[in-house]
Amino acid sequence: MSSKVVLITGASSGIGEATARLLASQGATVALAARRIDELKQIAADIQAKGGKASAHHVDVTDQAQVDRLVSNVVAQHGRLDVMVNNAGLMAIAPLTLRKTEEWDRMIDINIKGLLYGVAAALPVFEQQQFGHFVNIASIVGLKVFSPGGTVYSGTKFAVRAISEGLRHEVGGNIRTTVISPGAIDTDLKFGSGDKDSRDFVVDFYKMAIPADAIAQAIAYAIAQPASVDVNEIVIRPTVQDF
């Protein structure tokens, strides 16, 4: 782990933050990326104060040019990029009948296009190096549609799994691809809906949630495997979650 440079989107809280802190504690150089730069700088400073190596980078993953610059800046600063963790996401749960099309667009832009922009930016680097690792955060609802209310969100996470599997087929070999599908994890994701009734339902559902560190541990496991081992998919949920 000590030789790896890991770029993590959505790193200002939740799974991204937990992953950055864990990997840095194991010796990796972590590049934290998100829109909330003040939070990123504080997390990076905390990591550095403990002897870790971290940098903070402002990015909106829905802007392809920003994602391209992000990857270029990380490579310029750290000399390489070993792992791209596409973690930024939005979960706006609400019934289709409410026709919250702006939230649909936002989920598509962040969860699907944002991930694709990350792939498009990092893939040429990985191809030139002849090695690299994509870690894409999907969801348990990418395995089974969460209904009512989660239809569009589930659609975006089914897409993450399909894109990741296609990516593995197209660029496998020295470039590894891992999909992590979390269940109920204690993050800010549960507050994503603009519909109060739906948001209250999700918050109540997430009372069973387990810490974000559970996902960070899974990411660390996948990254730490020998180059000949490609951990393609991990599903993690609370033991009490039956969905």
Q: Residue 147's closest CA among 91, 95, 89?
A: 95
| Residues of the chain predicted below pLDDT 70 | none
The strand order across the sheet containing 132-137 reads 53-58, 29-34, 5-9, 83-86, 132-137, 175-182, 233-236
Question: Is 153 annotated as catalytic?
Answer: yes
Q: Which is the catalytic residue, given 117, 153, 206, 221?
A: 153
- pTM of the full structure: 0.94
pLDDT at residue 3 in the model: 86
Spatial CB neighbours of 166, under 8 Å, sequence gap ≥ 6: none
Q: Which domains does the chain have, with CATH numbers?
A: 5-229 (3.40.50.720)
Residues in the chain: 243
